[in-house]
């Protein structure tokens, strides 16, 4: 039940953000004097609507987005009444059209920023010093958390009856001990400790440690386990030694901030998202084969793109596991990604209209410098083949991600 509630809540949050996106277009267009005739949430048959002034507002049956109709977005629009000719969008200065067309993305950015600040104050943001990757973890001090057992086979599971007891626990090591040496090999970082243990044979080993400022030595009987080569998750398994410890990180995973400090933390997180979003968008083409493979039976790569369906499912998982911070961060990341993606200079995205508006202005300026007649507005009809190509590619990619999210979804929690 909690999972379903999370899915519905996240889908509703997406619908609200998209509706506010369209409201951003509408409000700025009206502010500049452009005529907006319709503003609807959803698509398909109209469920309910009302008219206020010159604009019809309403709700449609398919809650998959929304739209607003601004009269005369392009010179080729043929549904402009003679009385509205002076208010068509394409006649307004390019800076005003830029504001209107970018208002949707600005709304998404605004939602992300406000949600980030609130999260920083009341929920916490991921600690930038917390190791996010295996390589970062290997640079941490070799402070250990002693496990109850060692799992001989290479599987991720909890201890079960019959598993060998942890050599570290049997030797008397405790949570928070810092390993200094293994059988005479000095250890400084977690990576050093892993290499020292892997370099030893299963059996007796001398472990020197530090506890509360005092050093000590214990004799441990290293267990024999099956593992791949150090630093890899796949490949041939071999028999190696194990101490029965995990990395203990004293830093908190989430950090809360005061109202003033939260502004700086929000800015830092936004910069990280900006870099991550650009990198993720650049990797999309190379992830398509992995998406297709996940549909045809391969394991789903957690780094593959997801659709709103996949995002909603992750939102459901977050709620089901009481991980509301993940729910909020998913919402923030999605809004930021949509805001950036929508500004790409491709039709029919808002960024495509902005790019054309500034191209027209630059071309008019250049022709004036050269003393040639103004070539006028871009003919959108000539751009239709490119627009259809973008729609076809985008539609196919959306269908691919939705199918993968239904057939082989990404999961962050074991169920």
Could you list the active site residues? 22
Instruction: Say if CB 148 and CB 165 are below 8 A apart.
Output: yes
Reported as type and span, the H/E element at residue 40 is strand 36-52
Nearest to 146 by CA among 108, 177, 185, 106: 177
Q: Encoding tokens for residue 396?
A: 């196919």
d(CA 358, CA 360): 5
- Using only C-alpha atoms, the chain has a radius of gyration, in whole angstroms, of 29
Of 270, 319, 327, the closest CA to residue 123 belongs to: 327
E strands, 102-150, in order: 125-126, 144-146
Phi-psi region of 172 (alpha: psi -120 to 50; beta: other; left: phi over 0): left
User: Among candidates 289, 288, 281, which has minimal Cα distance to 344?
Assistant: 281
Instruction: Describe the crossing of helices 94-122 and 261-295 by its angle, rounded to 10 degrees.
Output: 100
């Amino acid at each position: 039940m909690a999972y379903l509630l999370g899915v519905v809540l996240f889908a509703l949050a997406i619908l609200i953000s998209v509706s506010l996106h369209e409201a951003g277009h509408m409000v700025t267009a009206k502010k500049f004097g452009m005529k907006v005739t319709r503003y609807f949430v959803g698509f398909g048959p109209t469920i309910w609507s009302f008219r206020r002034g010159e604009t019809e507002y309403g709700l449609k049956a398919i809650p998959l987005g929304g739209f607003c109709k601004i009269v005369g977005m392009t010179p080729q629009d043929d549904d402009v009444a003679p009385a509205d000719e002076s208010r068509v969008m394409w006649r307004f200065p390019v800076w005003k059209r830029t504001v209107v067309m970018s208002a949707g993305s600005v709304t998404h950015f605004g939602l992300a920023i406000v949600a980030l600040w609130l999260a920083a104050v009341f929920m916490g943001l991921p600690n930038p010093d917390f190791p996010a990757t295996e390589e970062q973890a290997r640079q941490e001090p070799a402070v250990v958390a002693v496990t109850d057992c060692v799992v001989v086979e290479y599987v991720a599971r909890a201890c079960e009856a019959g598993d060998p007891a942890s050599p570290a626990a049997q030797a008397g090591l405790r949570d928070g001990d810092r390993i200094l040496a293994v059988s005479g090999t000095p250890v400084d970082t977690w990576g050093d400790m892993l290499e020292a243990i892997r370099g030893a044979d299963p059996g007796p080993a001398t472990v020197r440690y530090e506890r509360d400022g005092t050093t000590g030595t214990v004799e441990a009987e290293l267990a024999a386990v099956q593992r791949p080569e150090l630093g890899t998750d796949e490949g041939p398994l071999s028999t190696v030694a194990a101490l029965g410890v995990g990395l203990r990180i004293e830093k908190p995973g989430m950090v809360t901030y005061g109202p003033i400090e939260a502004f700086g933390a929000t800015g830092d997180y936004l910069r990280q998202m900006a870099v991550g979003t650009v990198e993720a968008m650049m990797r999309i083409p190379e992830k398509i084969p992995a998406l297709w493979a996940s549909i045809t039976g391969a394991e789903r790569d957690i780094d593959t793109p997801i659709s709103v369906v996949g995002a909603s499912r992750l939102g459901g998982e977050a709620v089901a596991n009481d991980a509301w911070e993940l729910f909020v961060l998913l919402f923030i990341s999605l809004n930021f990604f949509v805001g950036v993606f929508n500004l790409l200079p491709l039709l029919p995205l808002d960024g495509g209209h902005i790019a054309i508006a500034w191209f027209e202005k630059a071309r008019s300026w250049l022709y004036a410098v050269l003393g040639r007649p103004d070539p006028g507005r871009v003919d959108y009809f000539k751009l239709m083949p490119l627009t259809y190509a973008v729609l076809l590619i985008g539609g196919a990619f959306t269908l691919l991600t939705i199918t993968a999210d239904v057939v082989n979804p990404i999961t962050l929690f074991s169920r």
